């Protein structure tokens, strides 16, 4: 599958029609030897082909097309699609009434001419970073596929839809890394914008304080094109993304917490990436950022996902808890033990941490860290609850920092070709999204040259 920008260029120049592109996507999804049956929960084939034909007809008639006209996309199963029951990767919502309208993010994509292929598999109710789903199966990571490694979650199917050529880009949510973790594990770019940048309405929440809507694709430019539409920046034409030169960027690498427990492959890839960036003229500083050591204690009782998740799931658990993944049900149920005071204390601790970290990083353009500390583990090693919980805590540790601090962040592949995928995360200030994407374009080019 080509990048978003390549697909849009081919569509604009007539090298391919939207129907041809869309049919190729469905052929990949339906390949009996592929992962499509596990990557997607539902397909909208007739609607997608009709939308593709409409895009082609518009071009044939000489009507100026909207910015994403004819581009196929996959969307995570937690977004409302008009006329369809939103499942969030669960069986517990099957008897819910269908959505009466698209989620705003999806409506903006449609208005920009995107073709929605279907909804992708996910960790049930987005509760977890592994990507396992006992109801619909777990799509296997393209790396070491015969062994069967996790895709990362919770936007698991979205990642595989891109890696396996089923879609040029995937829309998902990110509460503690749910876009960036699968991107890191599968060699993609995953962008989590500042939460308020894209409306959350019409998406089943995990933790409304931390949830954000973003995109995975093969390049930074691909992510930027789709993000601009979902953010409502300009439906008449996606604004050009300037590249912020790598030379002169001031980049901070925390010494606290985020470098703990790295496996050899992540440590080696990250070190090579820092060397390449330094040689490209970036100023890289190791900084203490001791504030980060407080996060395990602050979130020690489960954090916002457990507190706020329990509030949303309380009644559903009581009525249909037996239909949940037992580990997911138990995670949400633990929220019943917490008090209003504890929740308010958590909110205050977050506000204080945001203030202090803004001051601590104000002289840097971005903060760098490994997206996740390890390469993708085997699915077979994570079926027991203890292993699930321990691994999940480790995976969400680094990417969850950006959500807690209400910042934007992006994961870029930094491994050598043929090696296990490894992600490098760049985190920038609140609402510095377009600048982060511009910096990431330059860093992406440096890392590609180093590989």
As annotated, the active-site residues are: 76, 154, 178
Residue 244, phi then psi, degrees to nearest 5: -85, 120
SS3 409: strand
Two structure tokens written together for 23: 């049919």
**Residue 449, preceding bond cis, omega within 30 degrees?**
no
Q: Is 285 helix (H, G, I), strand (E, B) or coil?
A: strand
- The SS3 of residue 269 is helix
Which one, of 134, 126, 127, lies nearest residue 158 by Cα? 126
Who's near 152: CB < 8 A, 6+ residues apart? 129, 130, 131, 141, 159, 181, 182, 183, 184, 185, 186, 372, 376, 395
Q: Which two tokens stand for residue 230?
A: 């979902």
Determine contact, residues 169/4, Cβ cutoff 8 Å.
yes
List 174's β-bridge partners, or say none. Answer: 212
Written as six digits, the tokens of 147 are 């062994």
Residue 421, Cα to own-chain centre: how many angstroms? 16
Q: Please count the CA atoms within 13 angstroms of the CA of 177 that sit on its side-chain side.
A: 32
Handedness of CA 169, 173, 179, 181 (dihedral sign): negative
Q: In 3D, which of 436, 449, 451, 447 has the Cα closest to residue 251?
A: 436
| CA–CA separation, 164 and 25 (whole Å) | 10
Record the tokens describing residue 247, joined without a space.
């030379």
Calpha distance 445→69 (Å, rounded): 27
Q: How far apart are CA 34 and CA 30, in angstroms?
A: 8
Look at the chain and count its residues.
451
Contact 223, 216 (CB under 8 A): yes
Q: Is 20 exposed, middle or buried (0-12, 13-18, 19+ CB in 10 A)?
A: middle
- CA–CA separation, 166 vs 154, rounded Å? 18
């Amino acid at each position: 599958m080509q990048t978003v920008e390549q697909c849009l260029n081919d569509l604009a120049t007539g090298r391919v029609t939207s129907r041809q592109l869309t049919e190729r996507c469905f052929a990949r999804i339906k390949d009996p030897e592929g992962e499509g049956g596990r990557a997607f929960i539902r397909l909208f084939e007739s609607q997608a082909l009709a939308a593709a034909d409409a895009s082609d007809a518009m071009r044939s008639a000489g009507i100026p097309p909207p910015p994403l006209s004819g581009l196929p996309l996959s969307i995570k199963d937690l977004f409302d699609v008009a006329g369809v029951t939103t499942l969030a990767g669960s069986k517990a919502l099957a008897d819910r009434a269908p959505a009466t309208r698209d989620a705003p993010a999806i409506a903006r994509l449609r208005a920009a001419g995107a073709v929605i292929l279907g909804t992708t598999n996910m960790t049930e109710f987005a509760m977890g970073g592994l990507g396992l789903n006992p109801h619909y199966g777990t799509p296997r990571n393209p790396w070491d596929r015969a062994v069967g490694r996790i895709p990362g979650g919770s936007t698991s199917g979205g990642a595989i839809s891109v890696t396996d050529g089923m879609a040029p880009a995937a829309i998902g949510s990110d509460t503690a890394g749910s876009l960036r973790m699968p991107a890191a594990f599968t060699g993609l770019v995953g962008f989590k914008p500042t939460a308020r940048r894209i409306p959350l309405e019409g998406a089943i929440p995990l933790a409304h304080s931390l949830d954000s809507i973003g995109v995975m694709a093969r390049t930074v430019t691909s992510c930027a094109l789709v993000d601009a539409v979902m953010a409502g920046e300009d439906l008449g034409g996606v604004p050009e993304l300037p590249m912020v030169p790598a030379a002169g960027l001031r980049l901070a690498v925390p010494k606290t917490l985020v470098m703990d427990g790295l496996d050899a492959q992540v440590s080696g890839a990250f070190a090579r990436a820092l060397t390449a960036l330094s040689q490209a003229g970036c100023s890289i500083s190791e900084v203490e950022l001791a504030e980060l050591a407080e996060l395990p204690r602050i979130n020690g009782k489960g954090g916002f996902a457990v507190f706020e998740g329990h509030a949303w799931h309380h009644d559903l658990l009581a009525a249909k808890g037996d239909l949940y993944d037992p580990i997911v049900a138990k995670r949400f149920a633990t929220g019943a033990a917490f008090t209003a005071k504890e929740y308010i204390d958590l909110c205050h601790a977050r506000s204080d941490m945001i203030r202090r970290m803004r001051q601590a990083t104000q002289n840097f353009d971005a903060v760098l860290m490994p997206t996740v500390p390890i390469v993708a583990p085997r699915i077979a090693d994570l079926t027991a609850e203890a292993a699930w919980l321990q691994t999940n805590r480790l995976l969400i540790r680094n990417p969850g920092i950006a959500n807690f601090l209400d910042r934007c962040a992006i994961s870029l592949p930094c491994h050598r070709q043929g090696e296990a995928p490894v992600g490098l995360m760049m985190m920038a200030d609140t609402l510095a999204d377009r600048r982060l994407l511009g910096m990431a374009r330059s860093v992406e080019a440096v890392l590609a040259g180093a590989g």
